Amino acid sequence: MGGDLTTDEFDALAQIVAGIKAGERPSACVARNTKRLLGLKYIEYAKNGQLALSEKGKQTLFIKGCINGLRAIANDPATVLKSDVQTFLGKKGHIAAKDGGYEITEKGRECLADIDARSK
């Protein structure tokens, strides 16, 4: 999920989550990626006419956050994660609490190795 998106498209999703104020034009990043993201069903128009993430878009950003969080913990056990990402990774057994921080578990290492192998 989300493997077909570019960095620029992920940036556009993040900007949409942050919100575009009413009457304000979307950034160039959002404008150039809107058509593709609408077509792939990552975003949709809300009832008020504003761009919003679809359920697929929300899931994709959450998964990306989890993968980035797992990589961050692998590099620095003292990394502070968003609470929902921390909860998810902990419940799935990818990270474990250790000495005021977290450590990546064997399951987490295997997951990262699998993700890296698929992205090549």
Looking at residue 42, its pLDDT comes to: 95
- Amino acid code (one letter) for 65: G
**For residues 82 and 69, what is the distance between their CA atoms, to the nearest angstrom?**
8
How large a percentage of the chain has pLDDT more than 90? 66
Instruction: Give the global pTM.
Output: 0.84
- Residue spans per domain, the chain: 7-53, 62-118
Q: What does DSSP assign to residue 2?
A: -
**For residues 10 and 61, what is the distance between their CA atoms, to the nearest angstrom?**
8
Each residue of 46-85: pLDDT tens digit? 888 888 999 999 999 999 999 999 999 999 988 899 999 9
